[in-house]
């Protein structure tokens, strides 16, 4: 039992890291094979990565439904539930705004757009002129889907969350008659947790294949180095901002609000953070985040089940910071002067765009169109800018997704401490 727990806690993160590092090496060594001339080889690597990602994704919707229902029904009373919800939303909003401010300060200080140039400009589909309230409306609209099956099929997790929360409330309100449903959901949740326990043991192989393919497609070490050169300052700004948020802001908040040691708290989530870095998807990482929260960080089960699925969907500190930096960077590169009001709009819409972004790879790049539009940056500039930064998005996506997951993890500890008024 003790050996089993030790292996699970320490062996898995090491294997996950080994998979990622091995993938970089394998992709670097075989970079010459990724030019489309060796489809059997590249296809096999892709297949392994794809199967692994699918295995993770297949668990997401069922797991969210059972987790959220149990989170609501096991909270023990309406007032605890209300307090936890409110604390969660306030904390998520507050930290996302802090992340955006950090990004905006750094991009203004470093001014990466004045150093680099966006020479590889192409175009992507042009956008309609959107306003900040369009961003708000579309985010709010996605919370109430008209068809739950369609929302689930499209991976619109926020809609599934609303439905699950409502179902949880319904169960609470029918009293004794709901008991059987809670037991059923609990046992289903146990089954999913078991499946996830199995799946994560093949994660090192899956991560190896994903990183292998990405490195190979990027042209190996040389390809990555040349991408870094062109957009180096921009990447540096994003990564510096993410680092400030992940290593200073969030740990400080964690310590001040819960008294927990940020280093050991982060180590509890090492599996989830490595998984987020490797898959670039908070949704695919979610089951592992919940598992780490309950088993390693010892956060309460109901709080983890409630706060983390919500966080994976709406709390994207890394994405918000990234969107704000990217938009200002593009404007700087094209010599545009941004007024104080425009910066304010960028801050607001980056926050909303991050809330609205799906928890899947590259989602932040898609919702960024909204930020450009709201800040009145001409569509030609926006599309050229997005086309240029697309090249390095696969790298930055990993960093911001890790910060997104870390932000959710910190939020869980805070709600566990403040929301449920529990003393640890
Ligand atoms: N990949 C990110 C996530 O899943 C979203 C984004 O593209 O920023 O959290």
What is the number of domains present in the chain?
A: 1
280: left (phi over 0), alpha (psi -120 to 50) or beta: left
User: How many angstroms is it from 360 CA to the middle of ligand 1?
Assistant: 5
* Residue ID of nearest Cα to ligand 1 atom 1: 361
* Residue ID of nearest Cα to ligand 1 atom 6: 364
- List the one residue out of 404, 159, 134, 210 whose CA is nearest residue 289: 404
Give the dihedral sign, CA 389/23/237/280: positive
Token pair, residue 210, equals 């994903």
Q: 400 in ligand 1 pocket by Cβ < 6 Å?
A: yes
Ligand 1 atom nearest to CA at 284: 4
User: What is the pLDDT at residue 79?
Assistant: 79
Establish if 314 belongs to a structural domain.
Answer: yes
Ligand 1 atom nearest to CA at 318: 8
What is the distance between the alpha carbons of residues 198 and 143, in angstroms, rounded to a whole number? 32
What is the distance between the alpha carbons of residues 12 and 88, in angstroms, rounded to a whole number? 30
Establish if 110 belongs to a structural domain.
Answer: yes
What is the distance between the alpha carbons of residues 353 and 136, in angstroms, rounded to a whole number? 8
Establish if 328 belongs to a structural domain.
Answer: yes
What is the distance between the alpha carbons of residues 276 and 119, in angstroms, rounded to a whole number? 31
Token pair, residue 332, equals 């700087």
Q: 397 in ligand 1 pocket by Cβ < 6 Å?
A: yes
- CATH number for the domain spanning 7: value is 1.10.3860.10
Establish if 252 belongs to a structural domain.
Answer: yes
15 membership: H or E segment, kind and range:
helix 12-29
- The model carries a pTM of 0.86
- List the one residue out of 189, 400, 387 whose CA is nearest residue 279: 400
User: What is the pLDDT at residue 14?
Assistant: 87
User: What is the pLDDT at residue 83?
Assistant: 87
Angle between helices 317-333 and 393-414 (to 10 degrees): 140
Q: Which of 275, 281, 411 to mutate to test the pocket of ligand 1 (most atoms within 8 A of CB)?
A: 281
Q: 362 in ligand 1 pocket by Cβ < 6 Å?
A: yes
What is the distance between the alpha carbons of residues 333 and 337, in angstroms, rounded to a whole number? 10
3 state DSSP class of 45:
helix
User: What is the pLDDT at residue 125?
Assistant: 47
Establish if 89 belongs to a structural domain.
Answer: yes
User: How many angstroms is it from 358 CA to the middle of ligand 1?
Assistant: 7
Establish if 424 belongs to a structural domain.
Answer: no
Distances (CA, A) of 413 to 7, 34, 206, 209: 24, 43, 29, 33
Domain that holds residue 298: 2-419
3 state DSSP class of 43:
helix
Query: SS3 sequence, 262-312?
Result: HHHHHHHCHHHHHHHHHHCCHHHHHHHHHHHHHHHCCCCHHHHHHHHHHHH
Q: 353 in ligand 1 pocket by Cβ < 6 Å?
A: no
pLDDT tens, residue order, the chain (424 aa): 566 666 666 788 888 889 989 999 999 999 888 888 888 999 999 999 999 999 988 988 999 899 889 988 887 677 788 888 899 999 999 999 999 999 999 999 998 887 755 654 444 444 456 677 877 888 788 889 999 999 888 878 888 989 999 999 899 889 899 999 999 999 999 999 889 888 888 989 999 999 999 889 888 888 877 777 778 889 999 999 999 999 999 999 999 999 999 999 999 999 999 999 989 999 999 999 999 999 999 999 999 999 999 999 899 999 999 999 999 999 999 988 889 899 999 999 999 989 888 888 889 988 898 899 888 888 888 888 888 888 888 889 999 999 999 999 999 999 999 876 544 4
């Amino acid at each position: 039992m003790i050996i089993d727990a030790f292996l699970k806690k320490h062996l898995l993160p090491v294997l996950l890291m080994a998979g990622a590092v091995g993938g970089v090496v394998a992709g670097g060594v075989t970079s010459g094979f990724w030019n489309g001339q060796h489809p059997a080889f590249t296809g096999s690597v892709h297949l392994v990565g794809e199967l692994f990602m699918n295995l993770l994704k297949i668990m997401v919707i069922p797991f969210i439904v059972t987790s959220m229902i149990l989170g609501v029904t096991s909270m023990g009373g309406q007032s605890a539930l209300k307090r936890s919800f409110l604390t969660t939303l306030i904390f998520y909003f507050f930290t996302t705004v802090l992340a955006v401010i950090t990004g905006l300060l750094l991009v203004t200080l470093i001014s990466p757009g004045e150093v680099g140039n966006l020479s590889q400009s192409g175009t992507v589909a042009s956008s309609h002129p959107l306003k900040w309230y369009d961003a708000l409306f579309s985010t709010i609209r996605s919370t109430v889907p008209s068809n739950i099956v369609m929302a689930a099929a499209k991976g619109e997790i926020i809609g599934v969350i609303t439905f699950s929360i409502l179902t949880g409330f319904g169960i609470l309100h029918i009293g004794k008659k709901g008991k059987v449903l809670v037991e059923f959901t609990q046992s289903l949740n146990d089954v999913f947790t078991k499946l996830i326990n199995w799946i994560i043991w093949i994660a090192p192989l899956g991560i190896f294949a994903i990183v292998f393919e990405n490195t190979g497609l990027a042209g190996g070490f040389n390809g990555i180095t040349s991408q870094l050169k062109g957009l180096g300052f921009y990447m540096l700004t994003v990564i510096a901002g993410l680092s400030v948020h992940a290593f200073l802001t969030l740990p400080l908040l964690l310590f001040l609000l819960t008294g927990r040691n940020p280093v050991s708290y982060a180590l509890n989530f090492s599996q989830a953070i490595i998984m987020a870095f490797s898959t670039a998807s908070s949704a695919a990482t979610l089951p592992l985040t919940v598992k780490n929260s309950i088993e390693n960080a010892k956060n309460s089960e109901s709080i983890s089940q409630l706060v983390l699925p919500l966080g994976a969907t709406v709390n994207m500190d890394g994405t918000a910071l990234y969107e704000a930096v990217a938009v200002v960077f593009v404007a700087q590169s094209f010599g545009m002067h941004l007024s104080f009001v425009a910066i304010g709009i960028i801050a607001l819409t980056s926050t909303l765009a991050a809330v609205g972004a799906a928890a899947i790879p590259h989602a932040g790049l898609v919702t960024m169109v909204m930020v450009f539009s709201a800040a009145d940056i001409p569509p030609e500039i926006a599309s050229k800018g997005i086309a240029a930064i697309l090249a390095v998005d696969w790298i930055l996506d990993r960093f911001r997704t890790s910060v997104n997951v870390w932000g959710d993890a910190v939020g869980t500890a805070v709600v566990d401490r403040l929301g449920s008024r529990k003393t640890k």
